[in-house]
Amino acid sequence: MKGNIKVVVSTKKLRYELNLRRNITIIQGDSATGKTTLIQIINDYLSSRTGPGTDVICKKKCAVLSGDLESVLIRLERLSDTIVFANEQEHFLYPKRFAAAVLKSDCYFVFITRDDLHTLPYSVNEIYCLKNSGYYQNTRQVYNSLHQIYPESSTKKHFKKF
Amino acid sequence: MLNIIISRGSADLDNKNYVFSPDTYFKYNYEEEWFNDNLVTTMVFDIDSSIVESPHMINSPILGQIAPERLSGGVKALIIMYKEPDLIVNASACGDNCAKWILEIGKRTDLTIRLGYEMEFPEPFDICIKNSGHITHTYEDFLKKFQEVEIIER
């Protein structure tokens, strides 16, 4: 998979818009910004539990990984051309075997974690936090979007110094 | 005092009191009376902007009326740290906005947490880095000590 991929997740009360630019995107930031809720909505939607009013719109397939490392590795082997989400507090995120499977995959990954994933190569510009920017276009939906934690303008300036 | 075990990489803490996922621990172990405590209701209001109406019902400005299980992972981790200080909670479940509350809980009780990222603690503070036994008082010193910890990958 290559290029920008847009993912829109919406319920009656919430709307998330994510623009994914690289194969690995990290979401971190303050508590209570809706990171876990985002994953829960996608997971419930994919499991056909949500009913009308909830949507996950993306031109690619989406998947949420959870469970033990062995099951996750088997599932990952079968996924292709998919946006794969994983929440923090999953043990499988950290071992080298998971990193190796991610590197072999043609999927895009969105990891919610504050701890560094030392075994995975990801860009500092692809580390984001979720920000709530009020209500979406005169609806009751609270609008959340990704904001770079280390904006490109500031990282470029920093590298110029050297 | 607040004690921090810095853990970098994939190696987990080998301690029977370690809570890797505060979210899951909270789901199965929280007690209703915890929500009668002023510090708990204040933390819920500060972090989640939510009002504790009763131990069964919390009013969230975004989600509406919710059960305690739907509080943010950060505030759940804080409540466990405060109410069960013998446990070693994975503080990576908490964002920077929880740092002042972790310090506050550390002032009230002897608390040990596990941390895997450079949480921005507001100065002044007294934090014991358990890895080395060093006591740090500034964020700059805390960052240095964080970087000194070996990254262990498995």
Segment (H or E) for A57: strand A55-57
Q: How far apart are CA A10 and CA A3, in angstroms?
A: 23
The mean of the pLDDT values for chain B is 95
Query: pTM of the predicted model, to two decimals?
Result: 0.92
**Residue A148, strand partner residues:** A128
Q: Do A95 and B24 touch (CB under 8 A)?
A: no
Q: Region A118-136: what's the mean pLDDT?
A: 89
Handedness of CA B77, B81, B82, B83 (dihedral sign): positive
- Residue A144, judged by CB atoms within 10 A of its CB (0-12, 13-18, 19+), counts as buried
pLDDT reported for residue A161: 55
Asked whether the predicted pLDDT for residue B23 surpasses 90, the reply is: yes
The mean of the pLDDT values for chain A is 91
| Among B72, B95, B153, beta carbon nearest to A96 | B153
pLDDT reported for residue A89: 86
Number of domains in chain A: 1
Residue numbers in A near B64 (CB within 8 A): 13
Q: Region A90-98: what's the mean pLDDT?
A: 93
Q: Region B88-106: what's the mean pLDDT?
A: 97
pLDDT interval class at A1 (50, 70, 90): confident
Minimal CA separation from A114 to chain B, in Å: 6
pLDDT reported for residue B13: 83
Asked whether the predicted pLDDT for residue B17 surpasses 80, the reply is: yes
| Among A32, A96, A132, beta carbon nearest to B74 | A32
Long-range contacts of A146-155, Cβ-Cβ distance < 8 Å, separation of 24 or more? A146/A17, A146/A18, A146/A19, A146/A25, A146/A27, A149/A28, A149/A29, A150/A124, A150/A125, A151/A125, A152/A125, A155/A124, A155/A125
Which range is least confidently modeled, A45-54, A68-77, B79-88?
Answer: A45-54
Nearest CA in chain A to B7: A115
3-state secondary structure A100-142: HHHHHCCCEEEEECCCCCCCCCCCHHHEEEEEEEEECCCCCCE
Q: Region A111-125: what's the mean pLDDT?
A: 93
pLDDT reported for residue A152: 77
Residue numbers in A near B116 (CB within 8 A): 114-116
Q: Do B21 and A89 touch (CB under 8 A)?
A: yes
Q: Where are the beta strands (DSSP E) in B10-142?
A: 18-19, 51-54, 57-60, 64-66, 88-90, 111-115, 127-129, 134-136
| Among B23, B64, B72, beta carbon nearest to A32 | B72
Asked if the C-beta of B43 comes within 8 angstroms of chain A's C-beta atoms, the answer is no
Asked whether the predicted pLDDT for residue A156 surpasses 80, the reply is: no
Minimal CA separation from A110 to chain B, in Å: 17
Output DSSP code: residue B123.
Answer: S
pLDDT interval class at A44 (50, 70, 90): very high
Asked whether the predicted pLDDT for residue B113 surpasses 60, the reply is: yes
Q: Region B105-129: what's the mean pLDDT?
A: 96
Minimal CA separation from B4 to chain A, in Å: 15
Q: How far apart are CA A40 and CA A28, in angstroms?
A: 16
Output DSSP code: residue A162.
Answer: -
pLDDT interval class at A101 (50, 70, 90): very high
Q: What pLDDT, in 10s, does the model give residues B122-152?
A: 999 999 999 999 999 999 999 999 999 888 7
Which range is least confidently modeled, A84-98, A128-142, B28-42, B60-74?
Answer: A128-142
Minimal CA separation from B90 to chain A, in Å: 9
Asked whether the predicted pLDDT for residue A150 surpasses 60, the reply is: yes
Asked whether the predicted pLDDT for residue A160 surpasses 70, the reply is: no
Q: Is the Cβ–Cβ distance between B74 and B100 less than 8 Å?
A: no
Q: Do B154 and A96 touch (CB under 8 A)?
A: yes
Residue numbers in A near B73 (CB within 8 A): 31, 36, 88-89
Q: Do A89 and B63 touch (CB under 8 A)?
A: no
Asked whether the predicted pLDDT for residue A155 surpasses 80, the reply is: no
Q: What pLDDT, in 10s, does the model give residues B40-67?
A: 999 999 999 999 999 999 999 988 999 9
Q: What is the ipTM of this complex?
A: 0.91
* Burial readout A79-104 (b: 16 or more C-beta within 10 A, e: otherwise): beebbbbbbbbbebbbbeebbebbee
- Using a pLDDT cut of 90, give the percent of chain A over it: 78
Q: What pLDDT, in 10s, does the model give residues A9-41?
A: 999 999 999 999 999 999 999 999 999 999 999
Q: Do B92 and A88 touch (CB under 8 A)?
A: yes
Q: Do A32 and B64 touch (CB under 8 A)?
A: no
The domain containing residue A113 runs over which residues? 5-160
Q: How many residues does this entry show for chain A?
A: 162
Asked if the C-beta of B85 comes within 8 angstroms of chain A's C-beta atoms, the answer is no
pLDDT reported for residue A55: 96
Chosen for mutation from A31, A93, A111, A140 (greatest number of chain B CBs closer than 10 Å) is A31
Q: Do A89 and B151 touch (CB under 8 A)?
A: no
Asked whether the predicted pLDDT for residue A64 surpasses 90, the reply is: yes
Q: Do B154 and A28 touch (CB under 8 A)?
A: no
Nearest to A25, CA basis, from A135, A150, A145, A127 = A127
